[in-house]
Amino acid sequence: MSSGSGLKQWISNDLLVRTITIEGVIEIREPLRVGAGKSDTLTSTSDLPVLKLRFGEEEIPVIPGSSWKGVFRSRVESHLKTYGKKVCGGPGDTCMDRGNLKQRLEQLQRRPSESSRQEIISILSRDLCLACKIFGAPSYISKVHFSDSYPLMENGTYMFTLGRKPGIAISRKTGAVRRGAFYNVEFVEPGSRFTFRLDANNLPNYALGFIAKTLTELHEGILRVGGFKTRGFGRIAFVDITHSVSGLAPELNADQGKVLKGFTDRSKLWFDEEDSDVTYDGSTWDLLNKLSKLADEWLEQGREGNG
């Protein structure tokens, strides 16, 4: 073990090692509600519409990339928490808040030099939790980009159906039904199909493992999307999924491969001593499965008290 520094050059954003793209089609298996965010207020007699985008004459439901990112990030954070790994706390206690990290990084960024750059990489390697490394933090860009999901199109028509259910607004303060607080909950009906795409840049295999684990948990219904999850909403499944690898490091390209090389080559700048290669049968599901196992092993290592 020559390198005990724990430096992770892949953290730097001026290196492009590889991009893994995962694309697929999801089928809605339970009513799905992704609301319109802050305008989604519960006022009496009003409806709770799903978030829609206007395309010409038509309004179609959308699952924004930011919703996917929220689902993935909070799942990864909860795994980190469960295994006693470093993880962001609540507002005011994120990795960037601790030890004045944000200010220290901003100071270094104001004095651009190779030694500042290395200092930044060293700070990010040591002080960011894995969720921040993957999904970003204030003044540190995300390595994963989630595209917005739209209904599939067939013969020029978007294939989706919307349903409505009556709901009752409960007062958060008293737990009682609010007077006149009946409303209609709009949702995407089961059977509708949506696009899905994520691009992950410069992540070592064990970090990709957390993306893979979350995808698998979504597919298995362990994890749901959107609102009203406790009322039987939000289950989805992948009816189609593919992966591709691109980037500047051809030896990491697994396109024709049964091996997804990790950042395991000590002679390369992106070397990460925590990473491993992954062997799989060529299919995307087997790759996701093997990557998930790597994430599980990474979590278990923390339990030995050497993380």
Draw the binding track, 12-41, toward Zn ion (x: CB under 5 A; -: no contact). Answer: ------------------------------
Rounded distance between C-alpha atoms, residue 48 and residue 144, angstroms = 30
CB of 27 to Zn ion, least distance (A): 33
Tokens of 142: 């995300």
Residue type present at position 131: A
Token pair recorded at residue 307? 């993380």
User: What DSSP assignment string belongs to 105-127?
Assistant: HHHHHTS-SHHHHHHHHHHHHHH
CB of 89 to Zn ion, least distance (A): 9
> What H or E segment, with its residue span, contains residue 163?
strand 162-170
- Cβ distance 28 to 232 under 8 Å? no
**Per rule CB under 5 A, is residue 88 in the interface with Zn ion?**
yes
Handedness of CA 64, 70, 73, 74 (dihedral sign): negative
Does 223 contact Zn ion by CB under 5 A? no
* Cβ nearer to Zn ion, comparing 59 with 97: 97
The reply to whether 129 sits near Zn ion by the rule CB under 5 A is yes
Among positions 34, 62, 95, 105, the unique one binding Zn ion when judged by CB under 5 A: 95
Q: Which residues contact 287 (CB under 8 A, 6 or more apart)?
A: 212, 243, 254, 260, 278, 280
Piece of 39-47, 94-102, 154-162, 217-225 that binds Zn ion (CB under 5 A): 94-102
Helix (H, G, I), strand (E, B) or coil at 205: helix
Could you give the maximum distance between any two Cα atoms of the chain, in Å?
A: 70
Q: Is 76 in the site for Zn ion (CB under 5 A)?
A: no
DSSP for residue 10: G
Which residue has 């591709």 as its token pair? 244
Q: Which of 81, 145 has the CB closer to Zn ion?
A: 81
Minimum CB separation of residue 213 from Zn ion in Å reads 18
The span of 9-17, 82-90, 173-181, 200-208 binding Zn ion (CB under 5 A) equals 82-90
Span of 130-138, 214-222, 244-252, 291-299 interacting with Zn ion by CB under 5 A: 130-138
Under a CB-based contact definition with an 8 Å cutoff, are residues 245 and 254 in contact?
yes
Tell whether residue 130 is a contact of Zn ion (CB under 5 A): no
278 binds Zn ion, rule: CB under 5 A: no
Measured CA to CA, the distance from residue 229 to residue 54 in angstroms comes to 26
Q: Is 101 in the site for Zn ion (CB under 5 A)?
A: no
Nearest approach, Cβ of 41 to Zn ion (angstroms)?
30
| Minimum separation from the CB atom of position 135 to Zn ion (A) | 9
132 binds Zn ion (CB under 5 A): yes
Q: How many residues bind Zn ion (CB under 5 A)?
A: 4
252 part of the interface to Zn ion, by CB under 5 A: no
Residues that bind Zn ion (CB under 5 A): 88, 95, 129, 132
